[in-house]
Amino acid sequence: MTIATFPPEPTPEQGWGRYFGFCTDAKVIGIQYIVTAFFFFLIGGLLAMVIRGELITPASDLVDRAVYNGIYTMHGTIMLFLFIFPVLNGLNNLLIPTMIGAPDMAFPRLNAVAFWLVPIFGFLLMASFFVPGGPAYSGWWSYPPVSIQNPVGHLINGQGMWITAVALSGVSSIMGAINFVTTILRMRAPGMTLFRMPVFCWTALAAQSLQLIGLPALTGGAIMLLMDLTFGTSFYRPEGGGDPVLYQHFFWFYSHPAVYVIILPVFGIFSELFPVYSRKPLFGYVYVALASFIIVGLGLIVWVHHMFPSGVAQWMRNLFMVTTMLIAVPTGVKVFAWLGTLWGGKLRLTTPMLFCLGGLFNFVFAGITGIMLATVPVDIHVSNTYFVVGHFHYVIYGAAVMGIFAAIYHWFPKFIGRMPYEGLGKLHFLLTFIGANLNFLPMHPLGLTGMPRRVSSYDPEFTFWNVVASLGAFLLGVSIIPFLLNMLSAWIRGPKATHNPWNAIGLEWLLPSPPPEDNFGEEVPTVISRPYGYGSGQPLVEHQDEIERRLALQEAAA
Amino acid sequence: MTTTTLQQPGAPAEHEEHPKHNLTGFIIFLCSESVIFLAFFSGYALLKTSALNWLPNGVEGLEWRMPLINTIVLVSSSGTIALAEHFKNRENMALFRGFWLMSMAMGAYFLYGQAVEWSGLQFGFTSGTFGGTFYLLTGFHGLHVATGILLMGLMLIKSFIPGNYKGGEQGVQATSLFWHFVDVIWIILFLLIYVWQ
C-alpha cells in the first residue's frame, strides 16, 4: 500500500452538535456511548449511596422497605445494562476500527441505531420510577414468581417496563455484536492476520460472540416472562403447570456469560497496557489470544452454578462445579502472561498503568472467591449472602471498572487529542482503589457470618463491617469527582497530545490525534509483524519510519 | 436518517454501508436468531417432560394431517426459491420472478393454513403451559414466515430496477437464506409439536 498522501488532512472541527444527533461515525458513536454510560453511572452510583446510607445503621431508617427493593433492583439494572455494556461498546467503537485499520464499522447506520436504543430504553427505565407501584423490585435477575406479580394491576407497571427495557437492551447489543464481529472478520488491514491482531480485538471478538450466542436465550426467556406478567400465560407459574426454574436457566444461560462479555474486553485492556507501560512484548501472545475463546466455550456451560440451591439434580451440581472450576485455567493463563510481561520490565507508573495494576490485584482476589463460590457446599452456605455481593463487586468494580478507567486514561489523548492530567488521575486511582477495597472486602466476612443480601435492616452484630463498607462506598462516590474534573478540564483546555504520547505500538498510534474521520482512508499501511514488538526494534507496518516522520512534521506545523 | 445533513461542508462523507459485508452480517444474525428458537424448543421439551397434565382438559391431541400438508408446501418452497435464485444468477429475470412469486404464494398458503388451524383449536393461549408454548412457538415462527414474505416482496420490487441484480447484489441471497432458515426451524417445530405427542 502506498502512503503518498499520508497523513490525511485533519478533519475540520465539527463542533459539539454531532454528539447530540444521529451520526454514523464510529468515533462519534463511541464517545456518545461513553458519555451516556457515565451519565447513567452517576444515577446508578447515587442509588448505591442510598443503599449504603441505609445500611450504615442496623435499623431500616432511611428509606421505606418497598422503596429499598426498588433501589437495589434499579442499581443493578442501571449499572449493567446502562453503564457497563454501553461503556464497553463505546470503547469497541473507538478502538476496533482504529486498531485494525478500518475506516469505520461494517454497518455504520446499524451502529447508530444500536446506540440510540440506549437512551431510549434508559428513559423507559427511568420513567418506571414514576409509574404507580414504582419501579421493578424483584432484583436485577427478576426471578418469578416475584417478577410476575402485578399488585397495582396497571398494564404499565415497573416490572413490565423493566422487561421491555432489558429486551430493548438485548436488541441493541445484538445489533452491536453483529457489527463488531463483521468488522473484525472482514475489515482488517492488509497483512493483519488473526494472529497479528491486537489482543483487545481478540477479546472483543470473543465477548461479542458470547453476546450472539447467549443473549437470544435471555430475550426468549424475557418474552415469556412478559407474557406471564401481562397476558396471564403460565410458563413460569407453578399453579398453571409452569416452572419458575426454567426462567433461571434462560436468565443464567446468558447472564453468566455476560460477566465474560464484561471482563474479556478488560482482559484485552490489560493485555494492551501492560506491554506499553513495562516496555516488553506481551508474554505468550498466542496463548492469551486463544484463552479468550476457551473462556467463551467454557463460559457457556457453567450457568447452573448460580442455581445450586434452586433444586437442581445433584449430577448437574457436580458437573457445573467442575466446568466452573475449569474456567480458572484459561483465566490463569492470562494472569500468568500479564505477570510474565511485568516481570523485569521498565515499569512506568502512569495513571492507566496504576488502574491496570489495581484492577489485576482485585481481579485475582475475585478469582479466588469465585473458586470458593463454585464449590457446591460453600456456595449453598453463602448463597444469597453478602459474600456473593462482595465477589461480584470485586469483579465488576474492582477489576472491570478499573480496567475501563485505565482504558479511558490511556486512549483519551488519541481520540480527544488532549492529555488528561496525571495528578488528578492518580488521586482518582488512589480513592478508587482504597474505596473499592474498603467497600467490598467487608462484605466477605459479613456473608460468611450469614448476613443476607437485599435487606434494609440487619442484626446489630453486623454493624461494624457495614459501617466500614459504607465509608468505602462514600469514598468511591467522592472518587468520581477528580475523574469528572479531569475529563472535562482536559477536554476543554488540556495540553495538546502528540500522535503517540505513551510511545505505544499499534495501528491506532500511527494516526494523528484525534484521528481523521475515516482513519487511514484508502492508505491503510500493511502490517508486517505481530503487535507488542517492544524492545525488538522491528517495525509493525511497512514504511513505519516515514509514517512517523510525517506525523511528527504535521504536528510541528500545527 | 441521512448523515450528510450533520456533516459540515468539506468533511469526507465516507460512512455509507459496505454491501460486501451485508451477507456476513446477515449470516451472523441468523445464527444468533436460531438461539431464540433453541431456547423456546428446550423450554417446550422441559415443560412437556416435567408436566403432570400436559394437555388441557378436553383436548385429545393435535390434528396432524392439515399441518403435514402445510409442512410439505413450506418445505417445497425452499426448492422453488433455490430455483429462482438459480435463474437470477443466469440473468433470466422472467423465470426468477415466476419462481420467486411462487415461493411467496406458498409461504402465504402456509400462513393461511396456520390461521385456519388456529381458529379451529379447542384451547387458547392461556390454557396451561401446553397452550402457551404451542401458540408461542407457532406464532413466533409464523412471524418469521410473514417477515420472509415481506422481504421477498421487497426483493421482487427491487428486481424491476434495471440492472439492479447484476452487480452481485446480495439481498436476494440473504432473503433466500432466511427462507431456508424459516423452513428448517419449521421442520424441527413440526417434529417437536405434532410428531412427538
Chain A neighbours among B 141-160 (CB < 8 Å)? Answer: none
Q: Do A15 and B8 touch (CB under 8 A)?
A: yes
Residue B6 pLDDT more than 60?
A: no
For residue range A367-412, list pLDDT tens digits in order.
999 999 999 999 999 999 999 999 999 999 999 999 999 999 999 9
For residue range A16-63, list pLDDT tens digits in order.
888 888 999 999 999 999 999 999 999 999 999 999 999 999 999 999
Residue B12 pLDDT more than 70?
A: no
User: Is residue A58 reached through a cis peptide bond, with omega within 30 degrees of 0 on the bond before it?
Assistant: no
Q: Using alpha carbons, list the distances in angstroms from residue A36 to A9, A327, A434, A517.
A: 30, 33, 26, 21
How close, in Å, is residue B75 to chain A by CA atoms? Answer: 25
Query: Which of A315-323's residues contact partners 24+ apart within 8 Å by CB, and which partners?
Result: A317/A376, A318/A376, A321/A374, A321/A375, A321/A376, A323/A298
Q: Is A200 exposed, middle or buried (0-12, 13-18, 19+ CB in 10 A)?
A: buried
pLDDT at B1: 31
Mean pLDDT of A277-285: 96
A234, B128 contact by CB (below 8 A):
yes
Q: Do B3 and A186 touch (CB under 8 A)?
A: no
Question: Which residues does chain B have within 8 Å of residue A183's beta carbon, measured at their own beta carbons?
Answer: 21
Q: Do B51 and A246 touch (CB under 8 A)?
A: no
- Nearest partner of A114 among A40, A215, A22, judged by Cα: A22
Dihedral Cα A522, A523, A529, A533, nearest 10 deg = -120
A82, A117 contact by CB (below 8 A):
no
Cα–Cα distance, A73 to A542 (Å, whole number): 53
Residue B50 pLDDT more than 70?
A: yes
For residue range A228-258, list pLDDT tens digits in order.
999 999 999 988 889 999 999 999 999 999 9
**Over pLDDT 90: what percentage of chain A?**
91
One-character DSSP codes across chain B: --SGGGSPTTS-------HHHHHHHHHHHHHHHHHHHHHHHHHHHHHHHH-SS-SPTT------HHHHHHHHHHHHHHHHHHHHHHHHHTT-HHHHHHHHHHHHHHHHHHHHHHHHHHHT-S--TTSHHHHHHHHHHHHHHHHHHHHHHHHHHHHHHHTTSTTTTTS---HHHHHHHHHHHHHHHHHHHHIIIII--
A37, A88 contact by CB (below 8 A):
no
Asked if B31 has any chain A CB less than 8 Å from its own CB, the reply is yes
Q: Do A18 and B6 touch (CB under 8 A)?
A: yes
* Residue A45 DSSP code: H
Q: How many CA atoms lie within 13 A of B89 on its CB side?
A: 8
CATH number for A25-557: choose from 3.30.160.100, 3.30.2420.10, 1.20.210.10, 3.30.420.40. 1.20.210.10
**Is the torsion defined by CA of A74, A77, A81, A87 positive or negative?**
positive
Question: Which residues does chain A have within 8 Å of residue B12's beta carbon, measured at their own beta carbons?
Answer: 11, 516-518, 521
Distant-in-sequence, close-in-space partners of A326: CB < 8 Å, separation ≥ 6: A298
Q: Do A14 and B133 touch (CB under 8 A)?
A: no
Q: Using alpha carbons, list the distances in angstroms from residue A394 to A398, A429, B126, B129.
A: 4, 15, 43, 40
Question: Residue A13: pLDDT band by 50, 70, 90 thresholds?
Answer: confident
Asked if B10 has any chain A CB less than 8 Å from its own CB, the reply is yes
Dihedral Cα A318, A319, A320, A323, nearest 10 deg = 120
3-state secondary structure A85-109: HHHHHHHHHHHHHHHHCCCCCCCHH
A209, A257 contact by CB (below 8 A):
no
Q: Do B32 and A227 touch (CB under 8 A)?
A: no
Paired with A496 in beta bridges are A418
Residue A152 pLDDT more than 90?
A: no
Cα–Cα distance, A261 to A232 (Å, whole number): 34
User: Is residue A145 reached through a cis peptide bond, with omega within 30 degrees of 0 on the bond before it?
Assistant: yes
Mean pLDDT of B131-142: 95
Question: Residue A466: pLDDT band by 50, 70, 90 thresholds?
Answer: very high
Cα–Cα distance, A401 to A409 (Å, whole number): 12
How close, in Å, is residue B41 to chain A by CA atoms? Answer: 10
Cα–Cα distance, B136 to B149 (Å, whole number): 20
Cα–Cα distance, A115 to B18 (Å, whole number): 19
Q: What is the H or E stretch that residue A44 is in?
A: helix A26-54
Question: Residue A463: pLDDT band by 50, 70, 90 thresholds?
Answer: very high
For residue range A411-428, list pLDDT tens digits in order.
999 999 999 999 999 999
Mean pLDDT of A515-531: 91
- Nearest partner of B150 among B175, B183, B124, judged by Cα: B175
Cα–Cα distance, B160 to A102 (Å, whole number): 34
Residue B58 pLDDT more than 60?
A: yes
A40, A82 contact by CB (below 8 A):
yes
The three-class DSSP label of residue A369 is: helix
Cα–Cα distance, B40 to A430 (Å, whole number): 48
Cα–Cα distance, A122 to A525 (Å, whole number): 40
Residue B18 pLDDT more than 60?
A: no
Distant-in-sequence, close-in-space partners of A173: CB < 8 Å, separation ≥ 6: A85, A89, A114, A211, A215
One-character DSSP codes across A123-187: HHHHHGGGSTT-B--STTTT-TTGGG--TT--SS-HHHHHHHHHHHHHHHHHHHHHHHHHHHHH-
pLDDT at B2: 34
Q: Do B35 and A216 touch (CB under 8 A)?
A: yes
How close, in Å, is residue A156 to chain B by CA atoms? Answer: 20
For residue range A177-220, list pLDDT tens digits in order.
999 999 999 999 999 999 999 999 999 999 999 999 999 999 99
Average pLDDT of the residues of chain B: 87
The CB density around residue B28, as the number of other CB atoms within 10 Å, is: 21
Mean pLDDT of A103-119: 96
For residue range A478-495, list pLDDT tens digits in order.
999 999 999 999 999 999
**Is the torsion defined by CA of A232, A238, A244, A247 positive or negative?**
negative
A489, A421 contact by CB (below 8 A):
yes
* Domains of chain B with CATH codes: 60-195 (1.20.120.80)
For residue range B84-95, list pLDDT tens digits in order.
999 988 888 899
Question: Residue B13: pLDDT band by 50, 70, 90 thresholds?
Answer: very low
Tally: H helices and E strands in chain A: 18, 0
Locate A37 and state its grid cell: 454510560
Mean pLDDT of A454-463: 96
Preferred mutation among A235, A237, A252 to probe B, highest tally of B CBs within 10 A? A235
Look-up: residue for cell 431508617?
A61
Q: Which value, in Å, is the radius of gyration of the alpha carbons in chain A?
A: 23
The CB density around residue A526, as the number of other CB atoms within 10 Å, is: 14
B13, B160 contact by CB (below 8 A):
no
pLDDT at A270: 98
**Of the ranges A13-17, A145-149, B45-49, B57-61, which one carries the lowest mean pLDDT score?**
A13-17
Pick from B36, B47, B126: which is nearest to A220 by CB?
B36
Cα–Cα distance, B95 to B81 (Å, whole number): 11
Mean pLDDT of A310-330: 95
A120, A174 contact by CB (below 8 A):
no
What's the length of chain B? 197
Question: Residue B75: pLDDT band by 50, 70, 90 thresholds?
Answer: very high
First-to-last C-alpha distance (Å) of chain B: 49
How close, in Å, is residue B186 to chain A by CA atoms? Answer: 17
Angle made by CA atoms A424, A365, A35, in degrees to the nearest 5:
40
How close, in Å, is residue B134 to chain A by CA atoms? Answer: 11
**Of the ranges A342-346, B2-6, B42-46, B48-52, which one carries the lowest mean pLDDT score?**
B2-6
What is the value of ipTM here, to two decimals?
0.91
